Amino acid sequence: MRKLLFLFISLILVISSCSTSIAVPYMQPSAIDMGGYRNLALASVVPYKGYSAPSFVVGTDIRAAGLRVLSGYTNSTAISTASYATDRLYSTLSSSGFFNILPPDSTDAVITAGYLGGDISESFRKLGYDAVLIPRITGMSVNESVYSVPHDEWWEDRDGDRHHRVEFEYYYRQIVSLDYSITVIDTESGRIVAQRTFSDTDKREDILDRRWMRLEDPSYLFRRIIRSFSDDIENLLVPSYQEYSVSLMSNKPKLEEAESAYDAAKDGNLELAGNLFLSIWEKSNHLPSGYNAALLAAASGDYTKAIDILSSVMEKYNDSDVRSLYRNLLTIRTRNEQAMGQITGESSALELGAPNGNAIYSLVMGR
């Protein structure tokens, strides 16, 4: 049995070592087409004003109920969470390199001045910004509790008699939830063109410090939730680089002439390997060579050439791997074209909703 297992593992290793994985790079379009809004004014995150934590934490059992433990939530928690969210969002969008961003302080100043008179959207448009992104914390709550956990203690006195007593350790639990929205307003029309909401919960449990009798500030948990939103927000607004990895089709039926192409691919000379595979396919209709020639053409970024080669292969062979690669490359080409349209700004702006003036900014910011 061990001998069979050894032979099986050895076979897997040999097969794996013979396969060469090829990465097909492409750009994934963002979920929201921001191609027409590359010049973006970013407002500070609007803090949540609708939650007020109780002064004392609830005890979940008789012993814990007798404790007077202060809540970790304070009036500054919402403000500090919004400030952290602002810094995080600005850093995420700035580092993407996709947007020309008006920083939050400057954006806030334009909006504030607009409330005193004038058209807010027009003011941004004069500064050269296509859209305003307003982030806001729309929901925030903290559920806090303390509880006791008994444990036995034993000791012996001088006479060797054993004694027992029950001691209690006290713990606290914090469960927080956060709702976070981003809204994009087109400065040309003053209309909302995109709006998304992110929601999550987080929690922690730890030993209660009875000398302090106050729970830890839950800001740490809120910040952890904010950080978890960063990748989702970037994928929502910014095209991203992706790779689709596929192994070369093995040389079966074996053709000695194709070995030099496999060797070139294994050595990393993909251009040479692609040319050799294509030449072999055109001369001999060798299925693996046609498949590999298409894959290497896609790896170089020439998706149309790859799809054309696969089309000619499918005219002669009914092969599931060829059909699968063909379908995937069609999708990749479409996604890449969409993403490049967003990057160049040639993609159309989002469908606009009902027209609004300055009132839309007040509505979105909850003023």
Instruction: Answer whether residue 306 is part of any domain.
Output: yes
Strand partners, 56: 70
Residue pLDDT, tens place only, 247-274:
999 999 999 999 999 999 999 999 999 9
Examine the domain organization and report whether 191 and 255 are in the same domain. no
Mean pLDDT across the stretch 267-284? 95
Instruction: Answer whether residue 113 is part of any domain.
Output: yes
Q: What confidence tier does 176 reach under pLDDT thresholds 50, 70, 90?
A: very high
Examine the domain organization and report whether 180 and 303 are in the same domain. no
Put simply, whether the predicted model's pTM sits higher than 0.85 gets the answer no
Examine the domain organization and report whether 95 and 233 are in the same domain. yes
The tokens describing 259, both together, are: 């070995």
Examine the domain organization and report whether 264 and 247 are in the same domain. yes
Residue positions counted in the chain:
367
Q: How far apart are CA 175 and CA 204, in angstroms?
A: 7
For residue 25, say if its preceding peptide bond is cis, omega within 30 degrees of 0.
no
Examine the domain organization and report whether 200 and 319 are in the same domain. no
Provide the CATH number for the domain around residue 282. Answer: 1.25.40.10
Mean pLDDT across the stretch 159-165? 73
Q: How far apart are CA 151 and CA 138, in angstroms?
A: 43
Higher per-residue pLDDT: 323 or 161: 323
Examine the domain organization and report whether 160 and 270 are in the same domain. no
Residues in Cβ contact with 233 at an 8 Å cutoff, skipping those fewer than 6 apart: 89, 92, 93, 182, 198
The tokens describing 241, both together, are: 């680089």
Mean pLDDT across the stretch 224-245? 94
Examine the domain organization and report whether 172 and 47 are in the same domain. yes
Instruction: Answer whether residue 203 is part of any domain.
Output: yes
Tell the residue number behind the tokens 């689709």, with chain if given: 244
Examine the domain organization and report whether 199 and 293 are in the same domain. no
Instruction: Answer whether residue 2 is part of any domain.
Output: no
Q: Above 50 in pLDDT, residue 2?
A: no
214 secondary structure, DSSP code: B
Tell the residue number behind the tokens 């072999």, with chain if given: 280
The residue among 263, 269, 273, 317 whose CA lies nearest residue 293 is 273
Q: How far apart are CA 226 and CA 224, in angstroms?
A: 5
Instruction: Answer whether residue 11 is part of any domain.
Output: no
Structurally, the chain folds into a number of domains equal to 2
Examine the domain organization and report whether 85 and 193 are in the same domain. yes
The tokens describing 61, both together, are: 């059992």
* 3-state class (DSSP) for residue 302: coil
Alpha-carbon torsion angle 77, 79, 81, 82, nearest 10:
160
Provide the CATH number for the domain around residue 149. Answer: 3.30.160.180
The residue among 133, 132, 346 whose CA lies nearest residue 239 is 346
Domain that holds residue 267: 20-28+242-344
Strand locations in the chain, DSSP E? 21-28, 39-42, 58-59, 100-102, 131-156, 162-186, 191-207, 240-247
Q: Above 90 in pLDDT, residue 63?
A: no
Examine the domain organization and report whether 92 and 220 are in the same domain. yes
Examine the domain organization and report whether 290 and 163 are in the same domain. no
Examine the domain organization and report whether 155 and 275 are in the same domain. no
